[in-house]
């Protein structure tokens, strides 16, 4: 399984970016996928996840600004990020996984290399 994240960059506060995560070796449509981020000196945190039935969940900090989606034909997951804030600055990682008995997203072991998002004030 390989996950390739792309689309990061430098953007001013209030701007937008769209991240992409292309997968190989596994069918995205049969699993759940998620985006995580990790800022310097902080733990990796779950940003958004999407189930195989396209139900989505978001961290409170990004609700109403970010949107996760999947293109099954391209085996690609996206993260549309709008109204970006400096506190969104982090390395963003995509993952593939499922849900535990508490309906919490649980990643498999594979991770992409991450893509840097930097939001200037």
Asked if residue 65 lies in contact with residue 82, where contact means CB atoms within 8 angstroms, the answer is yes
Read off the DSSP letter of residue 61: T
How is residue 9 written in tokens? Answer: 């960059």
pLDDT reading at 77 higher than 80: yes
How is residue 57 written in tokens? Answer: 């969940």
pLDDT reading at 112 higher than 80: no
Burial of 59 (0-12, 13-18, 19+ CB in 10 A): middle
Q: How many CB atoms lie within 10 A of CB 52?
A: 16
Read off the DSSP letter of residue 8: -
pLDDT tens profile 86-111: 999 999 999 999 999 999 999 998 78
pLDDT tens profile 23-48: 999 899 999 999 999 999 999 999 99
Alpha-carbon span 96 to 105, nearest angstrom? 9
Read off the DSSP letter of residue 29: G
Q: What is the reported pLDDT for 111?
A: 80
């Amino acid at each position: 399984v390989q996950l390739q994240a792309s689309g990061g960059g430098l953007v001013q506060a209030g701007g937008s970016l769209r991240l992409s995560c292309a997968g190989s070796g596994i069918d995205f449509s049969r699993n759940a996928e998620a985006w995580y981020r990790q800022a310097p000196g902080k733990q990796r945190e779950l940003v958004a996840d999407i189930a195989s039935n396209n139900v989505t969940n978001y961290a409170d900090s990004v609700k109403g600004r970010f949107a996760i989606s999947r293109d099954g034909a391209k085996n690609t997951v996206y993260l549309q990020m709008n109204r970006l804030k400096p506190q969104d600055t982090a390395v963003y990682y995509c993952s593939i996984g499922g849900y535990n008995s508490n309906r919490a997203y649980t990643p498999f072991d594979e991770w992409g290399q991450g893509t840097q998002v930097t939001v200037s004030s």
